[in-house]
Amino acid sequence: MASPQCCANPPTLNPAGGEGKVVDSFGGIKSYVAGAAESKAAVILVSDVFGFEAPNLRKIADKVASSGYFVVVPDFLHGDPLVLESTEKPFPVWIKEHGPDKAFEEAKPVIAALKEKGASTVGAVGYCWGAKVVAELAKAHEIQAAVMCHPSFVTVDDIKEVKCPIAILGAEIDRMSPPEVVKQFEQVLSSKSGIGHFVKIFPGVEHGWTVRYKSDDAHAVKSAEEALADMIDWFNKNLKAIGGACDPAPATSSV
């Protein structure tokens, strides 16, 4: 079962938020999209348990789009994000209906739709619950670059099977993926020749901070902005570089 940290500081959802638009079907999934549709590099954002209407998530999508990417944020939860106060569907019931394995399968047509639009490289970033989805995509080599932010449900065995460049942005205060586990991830990646990686543990922040930070917490905001910059840099090196026939980024670590 998920730690209470996994669901802390839930966002106030806004279906009309963001500078992009919501489309009824992208690869068969209702999605928020932003950025230039003709971009050859695309990024999929996979939400945490609170879904694709989270304001901070859409802000992130818009900022990634402004860096030259076409961005898709699919509603893999199908209009049914976790509601903490729900008595009908508490977390143990909710998670059975919304396993990351289901979203992994649903992501494949989204990737196919991006390629049909002309994208030559596709990356994905996952937050908490969404990080497990991205891990599965990276294991199946469905994407060309991956980022996991404070991952939930991801195991060392998952990391052993990753087949594309991957960045892992962890929190110092995290019961789902504590620093010692993130360091194990880094050790595994260091032993995998040919797989570029970037691993960083952010001090003084908690699980979920990159997308569920409190706007009045200056330290958390600054760390979230730093994580976003790291993420965009990773995609620039491993999506745009691939498109330009450059070598993938080498491994680096900040653990």
Nearest 5 degrees, angle CA 131-CA 49-CA 148?
Answer: 15
Confidence of residue 1 (pLDDT cuts 50, 70, 90): very low
Confidence of residue 245 (pLDDT cuts 50, 70, 90): very low
pLDDT 10s digits, 87-118: 999 999 999 999 999 999 999 999 999 999 99
Residue pointed to by tokens 């260091």: 190
- Asked if residue 252 has pLDDT above 70, the reply is no
DSSP-based three-state secondary structure for 155:
coil
DSSP result, 29-48? EEEEEES-TT-SEEEEEE--
pLDDT 10s digits, 143-179: 999 999 999 999 999 999 999 999 999 999 999 999 9
35-40 long-range Cβ contacts below 8 angstroms, 24+ apart:
35/64, 35/65, 35/66, 35/68, 35/69, 35/70, 35/71, 36/65, 36/68, 36/70, 37/70, 37/117, 38/70, 38/118, 39/68, 39/69, 39/70, 39/119, 40/118, 40/119, 40/120, 40/121, 40/243
- Going from N- to C-terminal start, the domains of the chain cover 21-239
Tell me what pLDDT residue 5 has. 63
DSSP result, 91-115? HHHHHHHS-HHHHHHHHHHHHHHHH
Tell me what pLDDT residue 147 has. 98
Q: Which of residues 241 and 142 earns the better pLDDT score?
A: 142
Give this prediction's pTM. Answer: 0.93
Confidence of residue 192 (pLDDT cuts 50, 70, 90): confident
> What does the DSSP 8-state code read for residue 4?
G
Whole-number mean pLDDT of the chain?
92
Rg for the chain, CA atoms, rounded: 17
Distance of CA 104 to the CA centre of its chain: 12
Fold exhibited by the domain 21-239: Rossmann fold (3.40.50)
For 81: left if phi > 0, alpha if psi spans -120 to 50, otherwise beta; the answer is beta
What average pLDDT does this structure show over 210-230? 94
- Asked if residue 23 has pLDDT above 80, the reply is yes
Tell me what pLDDT residue 7 has. 80
